[in-house]
Chains A and B, each alone.
Chain A
């Protein structure tokens, strides 16, 4: 097999697993309140800043071992981003629960603008970055060349799948997960059965934010740079991943993310890297035309 092809496949897999993590936020929120959380991309952007800040703070306090550094950053980012998720829901969604359908969408766009501008004002418009934490790579010789698998990428893949596995466990086997699933099926019935659905919706926003935070730490580790505008494009792509996998479906989000990541990096590596974003967006439009329910989603029957 061609070296470049395999290399792009690996790059795509890492990128895709991170898209999948962000897509979870879209898919869960959509599943539970039937609405696209437009501010989710910005939550990811905030988490990228938090990751860099966490790293800088920990390094300042003299922490040097990689596992501790990454663990500390992860905890810091996840907690603060989770609070962001909670706050966003509290401000932009909860007061609008019984409003017109368009209202929460517009207020979420408002939040997204606020977060972008807020990060820009607080941190400056320049590109930010973090140093490479994990040096070195595995090199695999495959005859016609070699494939490079950096330790960072391996770490990302492992972390993404562990995060995904944990979430699946929570949703499938814990009380919180049961409440989420019940609320998703029928919010009114769930609240009649004594579930505090408002709180469940808050939890879902927090879970989405936590997954975005994990993605933020991982992407920041891999690429090193980001700016206040970073959430926009990644947000749309993660949404594409969620739609591709079937919105509302957790494994779908991960599958969609990986398919999108791989096809995008194959496109940019083998055809044209300038138009890779155009490619992803076109993919979104095509999916919506030909298979709006996605790969793992169920076809929707309108209730009459």
Chain B
């Protein structure tokens, strides 16, 4: 960069930008932030507006100045170039993950010995969201389908356990596979007609579907208990219960094994099973991206017309991604219900779908490791920062917008596996 260019700061332009931004933010924030409705009258809050507008103006001024520096220009160029950030790995590339994964597994095994109940529950919640994130990652990240009603399948899993217990006497272990199947079926029925249409329709239809499920759960008082929800049985291990005393004169787990009663046993058990399931799903996902169907998903995301010209049934390929994602959510729902001990419709609002989407977006669409990290960051961080809970949704929203502007593919670069070239196969 030449010196002439860096010295040519256009302060006047920056000031104009700042004043414009201030005016706009005054119009935008003024009424809503400054005039708080109170019944049919109102209270004035000019201070809040002043802070907000000042914040916006200061931010705009700094941004405007920064964009005129060499560094800012470089960043701006980077946006416009829009380098895809995708690269092919060398065929003999060995990921550092082969060290990190065993280390994480060891940590996960050791963890329960040191954890108290609170920590355990937080981690369980984190793992549930890892599961949800992985499932949605298949749908959004790999297949490029925007599913905004993902929470519906989660609800199907959770309510599957509650309803299965209430009406059919089914337990955790029976419902676990059944919930996955039920959620997959629901995904199939919803997806088949919609997936043949232009992609955006899927987003709105799934959004509607998520809302339908929630409304039905809320309104069908006689079947689902309505807004009050339903109780969920504790899981059992080989028919042994984790309570202090077993029902119907059975032998509880701790007596059977002759260990001391521990009220955390139930959570410990959920933790172990959940961890195993997460590992299995991680492995399956890892395999899927290298399998024909995984390649087909990504190819469809890239160019649907080309895929159709190569004999891929685009509806069925998309449907397979949608269904697999749905069944993962069904699994997660069962864990969530047993972890909470009861279910009610308020756990399955649109906000929940948005949170899972934020995990996928932040984790880098299509990146597995990113999703795992993002799931923990987005679920554990709010637990630690309880005082900010009011601003949680706002934060997710800002995060989504910024991520899309800054790096539409998420934080972690997407790498494609390389293959050793084979020579001499042709004449």
Contact = CB atoms under 8 A, between A and B. Distances in A.
A122 B33 contact: yes
A91 B401 contact: yes
Nearest to A26: B204
Contacts of B354: 109, 113
A109 B357 CA distance: 10
Interface in A88-144: 91-92, 95-96, 98-107, 109-124, 128-131
Contacts of B194: 285, 288-289
Nearest to A282: B212
Interface residues of B, number: 63
A110 B400 contact: yes
Contact of B27 (A34, A83, A232): A83
A80 B27 contact: yes
A57 interface: yes
Given A87-B24, A292-B197, A110 B31 contact: no
Contacts of B203: 36, 38, 105
A116 B390 CA distance: 12
Contacts of A38: 203
Given A96-B404, A239-B204, A278-B215, A128 B37 contact: yes
A281 B394 contact: no
B300 to A, nearest CB: 12
Contact of A236 (B48, B200, B204): B204
A110 B198 contact: no
Interface string A43-60: 000100110111011011
Contact of B209 (A103, A129, A274, A285): A285
B394 A99 contact: no
Interface string B384-427: 00000011111011111101110011000000000000000000
Interface in A28-82: 34-36, 38, 46, 49-50, 52-54, 56-57, 59-60, 76, 79-80
A13 interface: no
A6 to B, nearest CB: 27
Contacts of A98: 82
A117 B391 contact: yes
A83 B216 contact: no
Interface in A267-300: 274-275, 277-278, 281-282, 284-285, 288-289, 292, 300
A233 interface: yes
Contacts of A155: none
Interface residues of A, number: 75
B408 A288 contact: no
A284 B32 contact: no
B273 interface: no
Contacts of B27: 79-80, 83
Contacts, number: 181
A300 B208 contact: no
B28 A110 contact: no
B219 A99 contact: no
Interface stretch (B7-15, B140-148, B243-251): B140-148
B199 A101 contact: yes
A274 B219 contact: yes
B255 interface: no
A217 B140 CA distance: 37
A119 B408 contact: no
B256 interface: no
B207 interface: yes
Contacts of A277: 211-212, 215
Given A57-B35, A95-B405, A274-B219, A117 B394 contact: yes
A92 B401 contact: yes
Contacts of B219: 274-275
Contacts of A193: none
A35 B404 contact: no
Interface in B295-323: 305
A239 B396 CA distance: 24
Given A53-B37, A84-B28, A300-B198, A114 B82 contact: no
Given A83-B24, A113-B394, A292-B201, A107 B208 contact: no
Most A CB within 10 A of own CB, among B24, B394, B400, B404: B404
A110 to B, nearest CB: 3
A192 interface: no
Contacts of A117: 391-394, 397
B146 A105 contact: yes
Contacts of A111: 397, 401
A301 B82 CA distance: 30
Nearest to A50: B31
Most A CB within 10 A of own CB, among B79, B190, B354: B354
The 6 closest A-B pairs by CB, nearest first: A110-B400, A113-B397, A114-B397, A281-B208, A107-B404, A117-B393
Interface of A: 34-36, 38, 46, 49-50, 52-54, 56-57, 59-60, 76, 79-80, 83-84, 86-87, 91-92, 95-96, 98-107, 109-124, 128-131, 232-233, 236, 239-240, 243, 274-275, 277-278, 281-282, 284-285, 288-289, 292, 300, 302, 304
12 contacts: A36-B204, A80-B27, A92-B404, A98-B82, A107-B405, A114-B397, A114-B398, A117-B394, A274-B215, A275-B215, A285-B193, A285-B194
Interface of B: 24, 27-28, 30-33, 35-37, 39-42, 48, 79, 82, 140, 144, 146, 148, 190, 193-194, 197-201, 203-205, 207-209, 211-212, 215-216, 219, 305, 350-351, 354, 357, 361, 365, 390-394, 396-401, 403-405, 408-409
